[in-house]
Structure 1
Amino acid sequence: MSDLIGSNGWAGSPSDICMWREMGISWGRDSVGPGQRNSPRDAIDVSKTGPGFDVDLPSCIRRNNENGIRSLLLLGYTPVWNASVAGDSKSAPRDVKYWTNYVEAVVRKYSAAPYNVKHFQVWNEAAGRLSGGLPQATFWHGAGYSKDPRMSTVYDNAMQDYVDRIHLPAAAVIRAHKCFVVYGGWPDQGRVDSYVEWLEYRSASQQTRMIDNVDYLDTHYLSCNELDGLYARYVQPRKVRGIWQTEIGDRYMLDPHFLPRYLFSFAVWALTREWNDPDKYVSMIYHWDGYDSFRLTRRGPPRTFNLPGRSLIVLSSTVRGALSPFNGQITSSEDRNAAALYSDDSLIAMLSSAQEETTVQIRETGKLATGTLTASAIDALSGARSPAQVERRREGEIHVSYQASGPLGSGANKRLSYLVLRRKA
């Protein structure tokens, strides 16, 4: 399960590393810079990270490597002195060579020992007109942009400028160093059909499509079902290596059930879509620390877990074995969207329930087809365990009843539980 889970930001201390391990986080993502911040005469500085480029990046990556955490470096943005929109770092560079030089400096340094980073993300959320009416994307500005969104006009060349001036030059550098190109996260407001249009745009100047210069697709804040079209179009025919979401969660985590339900569903989704490489599918939580109650942890000192962080601990401790798909059927008296998978030889189902007493019918002819079974219910937020009654009624049919307990989710008065079945020793 931990192969799927990443976070934005870095673990900054040994105690942070311990918290990441408890939550099962195995990837980090953050920026690298500041590049040539003040003028083209500056030396290219790629030693810093964080929103203000005030954290030492080499030590972060070394710490990650020493603790089995993978690193994704975000390449961006434009120094204001080179911006095509005056003073705007989220616009295309006037002179592309300075962008290319920055990318080369980053990839050359961090792809080599002792860092050995292999995944680099190009920009972030570049798009054109967004659903909801915004004429320009938050992180990609061009002609007609105004800080007042009501005054902005549509950026007509958004796609062409991004492909020609940002993505293709960066992808050429990344691949020249035998590293992988991660698309710069497509925003959920951009619509998947528009994403496909951008991916398949053919550059007139370079005679290549963007999709032919991408190794991992990346989207933000989509549901698993919304990834199906991208999987069928690009992953299944092996045009790309996989699909990532480098931002999930955020205010969605006001619902304490969101994170465990999303990640469990993501694992179930991946298991039926050729999950044959640990890097193929990754989701990164935004953000792992802060002062909002919906972040994974509350910034200290001392740093403490918030409810979403505790739910990750429960998930990681419950679903901790080698995963394989469950091809049977689950019918719950409460949850029409019940999902299940195998973790080693245990069957684990995720179920929501409005009533404390919950009954489940399972059609299972796989790993648990024979033998005496034991069952327990684990609350997905608190980790509290309660016994479950299990019996075989006919060949391949299992009946389970359990008492749901724990905090209710927001918006619906339901509890979320993991139902764990295994053979009795």
Structure 2
Amino acid sequence: MSVRNPEYGWRKTRRRHVPISAPLVGPATFRIESASAPSFLLSQTFRRDIRSVGTNSPTWRQIRRQFLSDKRVCSCITHGRQDWTQSDTNRCFRRYMKSNADVFRIDFYPSKGSSMTKQHGPSHGRRSALFALAAITGSALNGAFATTKLAPARMAHRVASQRSMTQLIGANGGPGTHDDVMMWQKMGLSWARDSVGPGQRYSANSRIDVDKTGPAYDADLPAALLREKRGGIKTLLMLGYTPIWNASLPGDSKSAPKDVAAWERYVEAAVRKYSAPPYNITHFQVWNEAGGRMSGGQSQSSFWHGPGFNANPRLAKSYDFALQDYVERIHIPAARIIRKHGALVVYGGWPDQGGIETFVEWLEYRSALFNARMIDWVDYLDTHYLGIDALTILHDRYVADGKVMGIWQTEIGDRYMIDPHYLPTYYFRFAVWALEHNWNHPDKYVSMVYHWEGHEPFHLTHRGNPRDYNVSGLSLVVLHRTASGALRSFEGSTEFGPKVTGLVLSAGENVVLQIKSEPGWRSINLRGLPQLSKNRFEVSFIDALTGRPEPPDAVTTNLSANRLSISFRVPDLPNGNSSGEMPLKHLAYLVVRPVMA
């Protein structure tokens, strides 16, 4: 998790994998006396015992009024609306405690007369409250850190992290060998998506097995997770589905469980094991593509079946209680367990044919059983195969005010990648979009390719001796190599000449343009570049699919005042395919880089 300090920026935090009931060893009590702390926190003693988590709490509104006197924190807290619980406080501070020899004991003391309310579920403004208080105490604890002597590795996590292209990119499945890991690294894949199971495969008396992964649960999950971790790859674990013996529809693992307790036992076993060392998984996904009637005409979702289901979509009938059954029998029971272990809840991939309006209806459905909306139990939204414009709708409704922490797409690509331009175009545009939408922590926006390997030529790689890249996989290698620095929005302006379209961003010291154009000489003007001197910069013209640079005489430049004019010759044989747009277009990168004296 990353938390925002309004004055000092983002800093990485880490979670202590200790059960709440665990005994404290060498508790450290400290007094906050940092001059940079908000006035409400000055000279307050925080001695929170992480063994005792009460249900009574001061209301968030009262805390908000007290904090509002400090203008530096207003931007963090203006969206918090309801109650902040002691459990939330405890969960927030536990993220500061991992890999630290000292154990903090922190108490949260409200002012006299603050009202106390009993919580029956998470608050609507829970994520905003978490970010606000964590950011505030992050600055306030600066003085305390000196007292408790954090290890150097711990201190390194306090440095504001940078945004990079790799933070956006993941894939379904995972690398099976060390050589596969190296291929993932070259493609810039930083996230894997694995299943976990099979749970209680045969009956309620079966052993709960959560050590397998893969479509047939025939691969060793612990070994896969450790391999990914050693390679710097984070893992999203997907929780699902229903064992046949517990399925409400006979023989259908995509139907709701008859016994919800069996589902909870499976989730508990998986999350308890893999959220703890040595795996330290922080993100868990609940189910996959649950939905009701699809906008494309299907009566039931492919992965959520109920009464009236038929394998022939034309014969299937609507599943009237699809929403209620999913929320009350799958999502909230699993989300409660995930959060109990201090991990984060990723929604189960809203299908592209479900419709955004219906997705909003599902997210905001309030369960009478739990007295909570589903969105209250979601940390990251997740959709499948949507365009980036659709993400803006969800961002403005749920991310902008902190209802959720970010938006993911855990499946993109597949047959869309028959167009070799699809994947590099998607990710470059995704990066530009993320930079324009407050991309302020590394895990906020992620998209995962389906699939990283396969027999179809449009997947990222294909098996062989050795394994090799397909065109889409190679295009990610080129993107990773070309836009390898810290990403920022380009602050200048671009003027694309006739028959040229594109996007631009800054990567490290370079300005990178992704352009699509027809063959022949084309032009682009850039204004607002950092100070460039003649003969102190170079422009490269690179094929976006192969990485092959065009010869130097294919690019000419003219620098005058605050404008850089670039003319470039697009090859006569562009790299687009015949199934795409006509006439064929060429996808490439123009990279403007300063040359050191």
The TM-score bracket by the shorter chain reads over 0.9
Which residue is 1:119 aligned to? 283
CA contact (8 A) 1:373 1:390 kept: no
Contact 2:532-2:594 within 8 A present in 1 as well: no
Aligned to 1:41: 205
Identity within the alignment, %: 53
Cα distance in structure 2, aligned partners of 1:305 and 1:368:
39
Q: Which residue of 2 aligns with 1:408?
A: 576
Question: Looking at CA atoms only, which structure, 1 or 2, has the larger radius of gyration?
Answer: 2
Return the alpha-carbon distance in structure 2 between the equivalents of residues 69 and 335 of structure 1: 39
1:399 aligns with 2:565: yes
Question: In the alignment, which residue of structure 2 is the partner of 1:200?
Answer: 364
Q: Secondary structure at the match of 2:372?
A: coil
Task: Answer whether contact 1:345 1:367 (CA < 8 A) is retained.
Answer: no
Residues 1:362 and 2:526 aligned together: yes
Aligned to 1:338, the other structure's residue is in SS state strand
Q: Tell me if structure 2 keeps the 8 A contact 1:129–1:190.
A: yes
Q: After TM superposition, list the pairs within 5 Å mapping 1:40-79 onto structure 2.
A: 40-79=204-243
**3-state SS of paired residue (1:219):** strand
1:336 shift after superposition: 6.1
Residue matched to 2:256: 92
Residue 512 of structure 2: SS of its match in structure 1?
strand
The CA distance in 1 between the partners of 2:166 and 2:392, in whole Å, is 22
User: Does the alignment pair 1:417 with 2:550?
Assistant: no
> Deviation per CA, 1:9-43, whole angstroms, max 9, x where unpaired?
01000111111111111110011000011111101
- The whole-number CA distance in structure 2 between the counterparts of 1:175 and 1:232 is 25
Note if contact 2:475-2:546 (Cα within 8 Å) is conserved in structure 1: yes
Matched residues in 1 for 2:570 and 2:386: separation? 29
Does the 8 Å contact 2:384/2:409 carry over to 1?
Answer: yes
Call closer, same or farther: CA 1:171–1:368 in 2, change over 3 Å. farther
Within 2, Cα distance between the matches of 1:356 and 1:214?
Answer: 50
Per the alignment, residue 209 of structure 1 pairs with 373
2:445 is matched with 281
Q: Give the structure-1-normalised TM-score.
A: 0.97
CA contact (8 A) 1:243 1:280 kept: yes
Is residue 557–residue 567 contact of structure 2 (8 Å, CA) maintained in 1?
Answer: yes
| Structure 1 position 396, deviation (Å) | 2.5
The within-5 A match list for 1:215-364 is 215-334=379-498, 337-363=501-527
Q: CA deviation at 1:120?
A: 0.2
Give, as a single letter, the amino acid of the residue that structure 2 aligns with 1:415.
H
Matched ranges for 1:376-391 at <5 A: 376-386=540-550, 387=552, 388-391=555-558
Q: What whole-Å deviation, never above 9, does each CA across 1:204-234 have from its counterpart, x for those lacking one?
A: 1111011111000000111111100101111
- TM-score, structure 2 normalization: 0.69
Amino acid at match of 1:56: D
Describe the superposition over 1:268-290 as per-residue Cα deviations: whole angstroms up to 9, x where unpaired.
00011111111111110000001
Q: Deviations over 1:333-383 (max 9, x none)?
A: 2556411100011110110011232211222x2435666432111110011
Call closer, same or farther: CA 1:218–1:368 in 2, change over 3 Å. farther
Q: CA separation in 2, counterparts of 1:213 and 1:104?
A: 16
Distance 1:362 1:335, change over 3 A: farther
Q: What is the identity, as a one-letter code, of the residue corresponding to 1:367?
A: P
More displaced, 199-208 or 396-405? 396-405
Shift of 1:47: 0.3
Give the Cα–Cα distance (whole angstroms) in 2 for the partners of residues 74 and 335 of structure 1: 44
Q: In the alignment, residue 398 of structure 1 is paired with which amino acid?
A: L
- Where does the alignment leave 5 or more consecutive residues of structure 2 unmatched? 1-164
- Deviation at residue 390 of structure 1 after TM alignment: 1.6
Q: Is the 8 A contact 1:331 1:338 kept in 2?
A: no
Structure 1 residue matching 2:325: 3-state secondary structure:
helix
Asked if the contact 1:334/1:352 (under 8 Å) is kept, the reply is no
Match for 1:57: what amino acid? Answer: L
Distance 1:316 1:48 in 2: 31
Secondary structure in 1 matching 2:591: strand
Within the candidate set 124, 137, 143, 2:307 is matched to 143
Between the aligned partners of 1:401 and 1:14, the Cα distance in structure 2 is: 43
Q: Is the 8 A contact 1:76 1:122 kept in 2?
A: yes
User: Is the contact made by 1:368 and 1:423 (CA closer than 8 Å) also made in structure 2?
Assistant: no
> Displacement, 1:404?
2.4
Comparing 248-257 and 398-407, the one that deviates more = 398-407
Task: Give the letter aligned to residue 580 of structure 2.
Answer: G
Match of 2:295 in 1: 131
CA distance in 1, matches of 2:449, 2:541: 26
Q: Distance in 2 between matches of 1:417 and 1:357?
A: 14
| Structure 1 Cα separation of the partners of residues 203 and 313 of structure 2 | 29
Shift of 1:422: 1.9
| Cα deviation, residue 423, structure 1 | 2.2
Cα distance between partner residues in 2 of 1:123 and 1:199 = 15
Q: Which amino acid aligns with 1:168?
A: I
TM-aligned CA distance change 1:161 to 1:346, over 3 Å:
same
Q: Contact (CA 8 Å) 1:334, 1:354: kept in 2 or not? A: no
